[in-house]
């Protein structure tokens, strides 16, 4: 199986030893504590689950600047985005060396991790703006990822962490949330060696389904990992439980057994386009996948990135040997009326726009809200039924 990024074996930061886990939970009761923001909490989940291997905790300002500018930490580790714990209020932890980190996403704010503080630094507006522009390409208030990142706090708390739980993800998504460790184990149990991952924050329509099939066939992989984001999205995106149900129905009905593994990971969407595509590749390598499908406007939002910037960045910014995982470059995919099948648009240069079945997101939402069936060329009826139930429930509110 493919090696993890940056180390010979995966080093998740979750404390699996029962005795040690109990001791740390008890210790946390007497430590100064910090209520995290959602970004820092989901960073802890990803570190605990082994997805962010080989990082040992949160970055300092020097590493943030280095990662933003050069895609590597000050020690030379290839990494595409800052992984940080930031806050505006350090009053409770000012002189502390070890602190309990509390989860903002779970009622009662339980301790999610313990952090050894290496430094508490104040980041300047100039530094923060430079990092944001490098990662998101903009400071525009209309960009949800850039705006969120700019507002996470002026103090950067760096240092290693020990993770004690996986926030709400394990409880809310018991059949879907999986750590990188668990995915690696399942890949081995299935006897797969070559695996292609598909990243999604949306339900999968026919085009997505066929794209997975195309990658599977063309790369001759043993299996497909459909890996969905389970964390926070921007307003208007479809909630994770609805996506989960729709994706599972599609896989159950339309893929042969032992072809697809459905799993989810606990992270908030960054909408960082090309940089997030590299992050997606990095942590899919940690799950044991050999390939990642990178499509049109991967991890994008609005018109902030070019249609294929998330592919070309692998040529321009990822040094040879920095990652072992490879990308499968996908074009926009749609149903061809001429050929009666889903195709990549670049493969059919003789087609015009009228030769494809293409629906805008607005049109899809309107049809589903009104109880109208989506064209079978666009969406499987079983999937459309689940989505229709959701949109009609929203319209009734």
The distance in angstroms from the start CA to the end CA of the chain is: 49
Q: In the structure encoding, which two tokens stand for residue 242, read together?
A: 């609805």
CA atoms of 104 and 80, how far apart (whole Å): 26
| DSSP summary character for residue 215 | H
Q: Looking at the chain, list the stretches that DSSP marks H as alpha helix, in order from N- to C-terminal side.
A: 18-28, 38-48, 61-70, 125-136, 144-150, 169-172, 180-190, 206-219, 240-254, 273-287, 309-316, 361-369, 381-395
CA triple 95-99-104, angle to 5 deg: 120
Listing DSSP states for 277-339 in one string gives HHHHHHHHHHHT-SEEEE-TTTT--TTSS-TTHHHHHHHHTS-TTS-S-EEEE---EEEETTT
Residue 120 near residue 97 (C-beta atoms within 8 A): no
Residue 65 near residue 131 (C-beta atoms within 8 A): yes
Active-site annotation, residues: 201-202
CA atoms of 230 and 166, how far apart (whole Å): 12
């Amino acid at each position: 199986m493919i090696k993890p990024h940056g180390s010979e074996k995966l080093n998740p930061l979750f404390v699996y030893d029962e005795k040690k886990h109990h001791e740390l939970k008890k210790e946390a009761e007497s430590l100064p504590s910090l209520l995290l923001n959602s970004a820092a909490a989901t960073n802890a989940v990803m570190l605990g689950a082994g997805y962010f291997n080989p990082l040992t905790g949160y970055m300092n300002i020097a590493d943030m600047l280095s990662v933003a500018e050069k895609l590597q930490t000050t020690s030379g580790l290839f990494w595409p985005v800052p992984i940080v714990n930031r806050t505006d209020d350090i009053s409770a932890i000012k002189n502390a060396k070890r602190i309990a980190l509390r989860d903002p996403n779970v009622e009662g704010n339980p301790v999610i991790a313990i952090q050894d503080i290496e430094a508490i630094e104040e980041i300047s507006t100039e530094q923060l703006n430079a990092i944001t522009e490098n990662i998101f390409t903009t400071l525009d208030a209309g960009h949800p990822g850039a705006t969120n990142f700019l507002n996470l706090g002026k103090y950067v708390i760096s240092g290693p962490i020990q993770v004690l739980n996986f926030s709400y993800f394990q409880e809310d998504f018991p059949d879907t949330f999986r750590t990188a460790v668990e995915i690696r184990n399942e890949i081995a149990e299935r006897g797969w060696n070559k695996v292609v991952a598909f990243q999604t924050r949306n339900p999968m329509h026919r085009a997505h389904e066929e794209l997975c099939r195309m990658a599977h066939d063309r790369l001759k992989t043993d299996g497909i990992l459909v890996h969905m984001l389970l964390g926070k999205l921007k307003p208007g995106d479809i909630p994770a439980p609805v996506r989960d149900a729709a994706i599972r129905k599609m896989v159950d009905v339309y893929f042969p057994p032992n072809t697809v593994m459905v799993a989810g990971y606990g992270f908030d969407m960054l909408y960082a386009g090309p940089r997030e595509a590299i992050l997606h590749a990095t942590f899919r390598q940690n799950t044991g996948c050999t390939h990642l499908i990178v499509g049109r406007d991967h991890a994008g939002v609005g018109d902030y990135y070019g249609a294929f910037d998330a592919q070309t960045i692998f040529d321009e910014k990822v040094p040879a040997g920095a990652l072992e995982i490879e990308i499968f470059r996908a074009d926009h995919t749609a149903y061809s009326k001429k050929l009666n099948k889903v195709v990549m648009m670049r493969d059919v240069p003789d087609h015009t726009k009228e030769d494809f079945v293409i629906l805008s997101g607005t049109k899809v939402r309107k049809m589903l809200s009104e109880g109208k069936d989506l064209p079978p060329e666009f969406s499987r009826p079983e999937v459309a039924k689940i989505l229709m139930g959701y949109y009609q429930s929203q319209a009734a509110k």
